[in-house]
Structure 1
Amino acid sequence: MSLHLLDKAIKGIKGEKKVKIKGNVVLMKKNAFALPDVPGAVLDSVHELLGQKVSLQLISAVNGDPEKGMPAKLGKVAYLKKELVPKDLKDLLIAIKPNDSNFRVTFEWDEELGVPGAFIIKNCLNTEFYLKTLTLEDVPGYGELHFVCNSWVYPQGKYRTDRIFFSNQAYLPSETPAPLRLYREKELMNLRGDGTGELEEWDRVYDYDYYNDLGSKDAGHVLGGSTFPYPRRGRTGWLPAQKNGPSEILQLLDFTRRKVYVPRDEQFNHVKMPAFFAHSVKSQGHLVKSQSRLFLPSLWAVCNNSTDEFESFQEVLKLYEVGFEIPLIENIMQCIPSEFVKELAPKNGEAHFQFPMPQVIKEDKHAWRTDEEFAREMLAGVNPVIICRLPEFPPTSKLDPKDYGNQTSSITREHIENNDLEGLSIDEAMENNRLFILDYHDALMPYLRKINSTSTKTYATRTLLFLTKDGILKPLAIELSLPHPEKEEFGAISKVYTPAKYGVEGSIWQLAKAYVSVNDYGYHQLISHWLNTHAVIEPFVIAMNRQLSVVHPIYKLLHPHFRDTMCINAFARRTLINAGGIFEKLFFPGKFAMEFSSMIYKSWAFPEQALPVDLIKRGIAVEDSNSPHGLRLLIEDYPYAVDGLQIWSAIKTWVQDYCSCYYKTNEMVQTDTELQSWWKELREKGHGDKKDEAWWPKMQTLEELIEACTIIIWMASALHAAVNFGQYPYAGYFPNRPTMSRRFLPEPGTFEYQELEQNPEKVFLRTITAKPFALEAVSLIEILSRHSPDEVYLGQRDDDHKWTRDTRALEAFKKFGDKLVEIEKRIKEMNRLEHKWKNRVGPVKMPYTLLSPIKGKDLDMGIPNSISI
């Protein structure tokens, strides 16, 4: 029934015209003891007893008020009333803790108001509160009406316009009731801001800026624009470091004062912030207090004064089996908010740290070194999104020969045919889709001379692999390449290494695999993880809040998948990707890390982020209408792809069912003004360096809308889960996933080569990440791999069934959740059949659960809705 028919029915109700509507407001107060505003919070609790400090006013969804020049009829102002009044000071102190508080509110209603569609709230207290919901219990002729708010409401003096919240009914712009249209438009105007001024924590402005806050003075760290193209990030409005300079002042990171600006509703909540901070301190043994570093020198104190090296793998294992003591910085505990670190108090000036046992060595301490596990992790590890089918032999390069000379691989048939190809020639193996490649040659070669000018000493790698009849991958050869010592135009200098198990040849082979792992993990962190999930999603968050009203169906669809993303990205700009930050210090591209990621972004295309498109592009799958999901995998036992296609299909079915509730024709997509503005701004501003239409769907059909929303949800949920939460299980044991290499491969006849013959473990450990950097890396990835205690997972919503009034949408969402439960059961069953699906468990006995949608007890289970860590 339409609102106007309801309104007509309401006017027919017999009895008194004016009635009372009871409402229940759920809100959470600011935690007075976490932030320096105790007097204000106590005063607010007193004001609650006096009343009339928080007012609400209903806005009609059906009737205007032309006599007063108002677009909608407004109800009379009503005030919150607390059901339970604190009896003494103890109750008063309990009342200001950050727990949900229930308030009653009673509205006077008459038939001229009709059905409410929104309400105005004014906060006349001294501090902000978090407004969760308003529920009207019995609106005449309508019944229960929900307003899902989930927003911080600051004192009224902080705002230029009134705070407005809408009911949970979704509307396309053209279908919005006339009295609500102006409020809908004004709310979007407020969220866009005017593009000027420094933004404060109470501002609700979403706007774009370059990545110009990565270094205080170094213009080379400004990303975005024609030289270093990049997605945009949220604008802060901070002043430039130099007059008319390109870079913002780099603000100090201070967890107690929210120096990192993002709109307050995008910040971590009262549960996640303390957990995130406290776990950081526990894991790292220090307080974050530096603009360019996460780590204070306390971790370095663990290292022996005479060496920064591990001497053996057994010494590395002690990090997990025994632990170590870290001297804490003097007075450090005085700097940490008490509620953040309840269990961190050191004894005798030291704190004991013991890293959890990474799953990759939990069952077998040596299996990570096998060729089978090395190859399996390309299909089921932390970076299973790079491996491709080998299209031609020898592998060729797409680098311009005018600039880089001959970059064709030096791997010969003799190198390959010395391996067992199960009776196949190279040509036959290629024709039967049995040869694959992990190729970092073209990505790294243009930067390798720069990278190796630092403390890093590494190679551009190509790794060829053979798919055996047992369904596992077997490495055939590794090519290590360097630029020509004189000029890039002279081509690459390459050496090829083949598998060996024993003697110095076996040690050389282990080092060759380590160089591949260095490439793979550095590329994973910068590209697969940071760029292709965190960075590319932020413009979608900004554009949605600027152009799609909260009552727009697509806003309701996408909003859960953007939770905490702007906040975690802002922290990353302070400590991880900034100049001199963690990425530059720990991962092999060093100070060229972000510049390198910018060059990779040049080839980023939105449609190719769809899993089926990606698999076909990499030659891993072919279209097949007779196969599930319309694809046939060329590696049948490819855990990431097998599980991913199930999740992808479930997401797409959910999006299709949902969008079909609101869009019946392509014309409805084309005439949706907010949707078209969102898509246009996303391309032209959010991803402004890639605004050419060739990179994007045109958003003219329902099919394009469904595909676009599916890609967005996939990137923000499943893709991020696949490349993030496996970090500690696989890379927590850093010899398996080293972050850098510091020496080139020893040459025969040298001292280093003799040392390799005599003590291969020592040489291996002195080639990869040094001890202090390894400790920092393990600390970092333990944090990144940990699920938040308040996480909301795929198929769930934190506002339950109240997020929409549309029953068809709720039914479709339940169907989605049920499908995910089925997928979870299927994944568990496949993991149990390890004799059949060998790549799902592998030599390390580690089941693949990174795309298990339901949260389990392990770090690597559960797909969060959003990029929230």
Structure 2
Amino acid sequence: MVSYELTVYTGKEASAITVNSIYIKLVGTKGESDRKWLNILPIFWGSEVTYCVDCEHTLGQLILIEVDKRTWFLSDAWLPEKVEITTPEGDVYTFPVYCWISDSETHRFREGKALKIYEEENPLGLYARKQELLQRRKEYRWDEYDSRLPRTIKADGVGGLPDKNKFSWTKTIQFYITGFYGKIGNCLKKLTENRNNWKNLDEIHNVLSCRTSNLYDYIRQHWKEDDFFGYQYLNGINPILIRRCKTLPPNFPVTDDMVFFPEGLKLSNELGQGNIYLCDYKNLDGLPANTVLGKQQYLTAPLVLFHKRPDDKLMPIAIQLKQTPGEDNPIFLPTDSTHDWLTAKIFVRNADFTELQLNTHLLRTHLLAEAFAVSLQRNLPMVHPLYKLLIPHTRYTLQINTIGRGGLIGPTGLVALNAGSGGKATTQFMAKSMSDITYTSLCIPDDINERDMHDVPNYYYRDDGLKIWYTMYKFVQGVLEYYYKCDDDVLGDSELQTYIGDIFKNGFLSNTEGGFPQSFTTVTEMVKFVTMVMFTCSCQHAAVNNGMFDYAGWMPNLPPTMQCPPPTEKGTTTEATILATLPPVCVTAESKTTVWLLSRPPSDFVTLGHYPEDHFTEETPRQLQRKFKVELEVLTTDFKMRNMDMEIPYTYLIPNSVENSITI
């Protein structure tokens, strides 16, 4: 008779407890143990309980464990983190679990050493691998929100999601309390019922006036200024739209005579010198604007020209609010009346609200991250090295997206009810944006080069993003090259090839013109793609989400809708027309409450580079994780030191403020 010592680690969440019976079986190369009943007393959260499993003979090399839970009284879910087993010979095996067990089915968990499918030497391991994926493909099925958008997970609301993808009890409570607290403050002031227009701009601060930030206060004071208007396109929450302009678009007929430059500079010369930049909101052209509170709203598709001055400030020099030039579509200039120029800029900021919320934020981070997460679950077993590397970057994404589809862009969502781009315009705009996404645009080094933004001064999104990208790339490269020694290892991994093919089909909709990989032929290709996935699910989302309240909290800076059409001639705007054009009180209240909620860090925030779950058990990848964390800490210090001398600190890509995954 020999004895195996088991230590069972239960999750630290309050709801991880179980009062039901847990059974375990050990399976090795030379046999298996009897099914062992573990708990005499309830298993509590955060517990580490040791048991003994006696066997008639040694089991050889341990391959897997089988775990099941039998419900006797109350139905509950148990969250085991891992099981450590010490053999009679003194060897220690670790079996990562990190998933909820709520049913009475038998669940198999592999020993922690990462294995590719062609490395499986034991038929039991191969069988367990295939059974795991068969079950996962039943749980993680593709669904279609709109045929022109990335596929989503098929689930009947949050309750229909697999348990492992649901919020923790702590996060659930915080999420709904935060939303309720934001709304109750406005309800007490009767703002959510007030359909009137604002009487003056200063009144707008009354919405959630107790909720501010240093940058919010700065924006409230400086939002009208041209240099801050230009600054936002580099370091605000939509920093990926602007590009260098060497030749003016034919539908934007700005001439030398129109624009004024200091020191006698000319537009034609500045174009050639690379000092002119463009934002083109062309995908908004022709969209049917929403009806809000029974009133027709208005959308524009502006073109905005910027000039990098000798003092390195980026200044707007011309705005055309519609794509087709004509007498009823004047080009607004800084030399126009104060109200004309401010009105033009407000319409541009409204267009940026739509571009940010539906494309830069929702489509390019949330929806793509969901496709990455679903494909990971459908195609890679827990024992696969890429699953171990990427699973931390999918945490909570499926639930927050399921909530968002109903609560934000669904028929009764906040965008549908309060934004000018709600209703039919939402999916039409997102479909246009989807067709424009390229692989290059998702990889920040390539995107910076493609937009020719490599040398524009004071572009901190670029500077910080590139430093994190290259740090992340080196980490990913180290881990994957440990498991894939040559390109043939990549070509021979059938699960890996199915994974990327599934993303190409259901995430990128088989877009052969976007440059997306359909398969991996080299280690280098795989490393770049995995870096993109990790960056998108952490840093890119942080860059376009974490400043939501800072920049959109002061509604005139990013208004969700416009109640009046854009001016068709100059000299017709006043402060009264601006107030009539901006959203009414109740829409402002809903908008500010929403962006406040979206900007709140969760209480169970997991910082980029922190891996509280031990999916890897080999020392090399664990060492690389520790090194990655240290390098990110160095960047955190560097970015904070730089910010100390800045009037507007750029904080959204400070690594210790970036979450590992999309959870809000």
Q: Superposition pairs for residues 565-604 of structure 1, below 5 Å?
A: 565-591=397-423, 592-604=425-437
Q: Distance in 2 between matches of 1:656 and 1:644?
A: 18
- Pair 1:427–1:634, CA change in 2 (3 A): farther
Q: What is aligned with 1:23?
A: 7
Q: Superposition pairs for residues 39-118 of structure 1, below 5 Å?
A: 45=19, 53-60=21-28, 62-63=29-30, 73-81=31-39, 99-109=45-55, 111-118=57-64
Q: CA deviation at 1:279?
A: 0.7
- Pair 1:433–1:571, CA change in 2 (3 A): same
Q: What is aligned with 1:831?
A: 643
Q: Distance in 2 between matches of 1:114 and 1:303?
A: 67
Q: CA deviation at 1:696?
A: 2.5
Q: Distance in 2 between matches of 1:783 and 1:303?
A: 16
Q: What is aligned with 1:445?
A: 285
Aligned pair partner of 1:128 in 76, 100, 104: 76
AA aligned opposite 2:168: N
1:187 aligns with 2:143: no
Q: CA deviation at 1:176?
A: 2.5
- Pair 1:20–1:613, CA change in 2 (3 A): closer
Q: What is aligned with 1:275?
A: 174
Q: Distance in 1 between matches of 2:266 and 2:358?
A: 37
1:322-343 CA-to-partner distances (Å, cap 9, x unmatched) read: xxxxxxxxxxxxxxxxxxxxxx
Q: Distance in 1 between matches of 2:643 and 2:500?
A: 40
Larger mean Cα displacement after TM superposition, 378-387 or 422-431: 422-431
Verify the 8 A CA contact 2:256 2:268 in the aligned structure 1: no
Q: Distance in 1 between matches of 2:65 and 2:191?
A: 58
AA aligned opposite 2:271: M
- Pair 1:481–1:207, CA change in 2 (3 A): same
Q: CA RMSD in A?
A: 2.7
Aligned pair partner of 1:313 in 201, 204, 209: 201
Q: CA deviation at 1:805?
A: 1.5
1:174 aligns with 2:118: yes
Q: Superposition pairs for residues 119-158 of structure 1, below 5 Å?
A: 119-125=65-71, 126-136=74-84, 138-141=86-89, 143-156=91-104
- Pair 1:583–1:607, CA change in 2 (3 A): same
Q: CA deviation at 1:140?
A: 3.6
1:709-756 CA-to-partner distances (Å, cap 9, x unmatched) read: 011011110000000010001111111111111113457799x74xx1
1:495 aligns with 2:330: yes
Verify the 8 A CA contact 2:4 2:88 in the aligned structure 1: no
Q: CA deviation at 1:454?
A: 6.8
Verify the 8 A CA contact 2:372 2:507 in the aligned structure 1: yes
Verify the 8 A CA contact 1:435 1:465 in the aligned structure 2: yes
Higher alpha-carbon Rg: 1
Q: Distance in 1 between matches of 2:642 and 2:446?
A: 25
Verify the 8 A CA contact 2:440 2:515 in the aligned structure 1: no
Aligned pair partner of 1:813 in 614, 625, 648: 625
- Pair 1:604–1:693, CA change in 2 (3 A): closer
- Pair 1:478–1:694, CA change in 2 (3 A): closer
AA aligned opposite 1:174: Y
Q: What is aligned with 2:191?
A: 302
- Pair 1:107–1:522, CA change in 2 (3 A): same
1:127-176 CA-to-partner distances (Å, cap 9, x unmatched) read: 232332343353244533222211111241xx4xx211222211111112
Verify the 8 A CA contact 2:4 2:87 in the aligned structure 1: no
Aligned pair partner of 2:501 in 672, 680, 699: 680
* Unaligned stretches of 5+ residues in structure 1: 1-16, 33-40, 48-52, 64-72, 86-94, 194-204, 212-222, 239-250, 252-257, 287-296, 322-353, 397-407, 485-490, 621-632, 835-840, 855-861
Verify the 8 A CA contact 1:28 1:130 in the aligned structure 2: no
Q: Superposition pairs for residues 470-509 of structure 1, below 5 Å?
A: 470-481=311-322, 493-500=328-335, 505-509=337-341
Count matched residues: 659
Aligned pair partner of 2:154 in 194, 212, 235: 235
Q: CA deviation at 1:648?
A: 0.7
Q: Secondary structure of 1:362's partner?
A: helix
- Pair 1:670–1:505, CA change in 2 (3 A): same
1:324-383 CA-to-partner distances (Å, cap 9, x unmatched) read: xxxxxxxxxxxxxxxxxxxxxxxxxxxxxx4x1143342574222211111101111111
Q: Distance in 1 between matches of 2:324 and 2:411?
A: 26
1:743-801 CA-to-partner distances (Å, cap 9, x unmatched) read: 13457799x74xx1xxx2x43232112110110001111111111110111110122xx
Q: Secondary structure of 1:460's partner?
A: coil
Q: Distance in 1 between matches of 2:643 and 2:520?
A: 40
Q: CA deviation at 1:460?
A: 1.6
Q: Superposition pairs for residues 540-689 of structure 1, below 5 Å?
A: 540-591=372-423, 592-620=425-453, 633-689=454-510
Q: CA deviation at 1:110?
A: 5.7
Q: Secondary structure of 1:695's partner?
A: coil
- Pair 1:664–1:364, CA change in 2 (3 A): closer
Q: CA deviation at 1:177?
A: 3.7
Q: CA deviation at 1:309?
A: 1.8
Verify the 8 A CA contact 2:22 2:39 in the aligned structure 1: no
Compute the TM-score of the two structures, normalised by the length of structure 2: 0.93
Q: What is aligned with 1:210?
A: 144
Verify the 8 A CA contact 1:360 1:368 in the aligned structure 2: no
Q: What is aligned with 1:461?
A: 302
Compute the TM-score of the two structures, normalised by the length of structure 1: 0.72
Q: Distance in 2 between matches of 1:693 and 1:746?
A: 37
Q: CA deviation at 1:298?
A: 4.9
Q: CA deviation at 1:547?
A: 0.8
Q: Distance in 1 between matches of 2:323 and 2:367?
A: 30
AA aligned opposite 2:26: L
Q: Secondary structure of 1:688's partner?
A: coil
Q: Secondary structure of 1:410's partner?
A: coil
Q: Distance in 2 between matches of 1:457 and 1:727?
A: 23
Q: What is aligned with 2:606?
A: 792
- Pair 1:391–1:132, CA change in 2 (3 A): farther
Q: Distance in 2 between matches of 1:645 and 1:117?
A: 41
Q: Superposition pairs for residues 714-733 of structure 1, below 5 Å?
A: 714-733=535-554
Q: Distance in 1 between matches of 2:87 and 2:327?
A: 75
1:695 aligns with 2:536: no
Q: Distance in 1 between matches of 2:371 and 2:569?
A: 52
Q: Secondary structure of 1:121's partner?
A: strand
Q: Secondary structure of 1:772's partner?
A: helix
- Pair 1:818–1:423, CA change in 2 (3 A): farther
Q: CA deviation at 1:642?
A: 0.6
Verify the 8 A CA contact 1:360 1:729 in the aligned structure 2: yes
- Pair 1:774–1:184, CA change in 2 (3 A): same
Verify the 8 A CA contact 1:577 1:594 in the aligned structure 2: no
AA aligned opposite 1:524: L
Aligned pair partner of 2:272 in 416, 424, 431: 431
Q: Distance in 1 between matches of 2:327 and 2:115?
A: 59
User: Identity of counterpart residues, as a percentage?
Assistant: 23
Structure with more relative contact order (C-alpha pairs < 8 Å, separation 6 or more): 2
Q: Secondary structure of 2:468's partner?
A: helix
1:478-510 CA-to-partner distances (Å, cap 9, x unmatched) read: 1122669xxxxxx8952111114xxx8111111
Q: Distance in 1 between matches of 2:4 and 2:548?
A: 56
Q: Distance in 2 between matches of 1:708 and 1:806?
A: 23
1:597-624 CA-to-partner distances (Å, cap 9, x unmatched) read: 112111222343100111122121xxxx
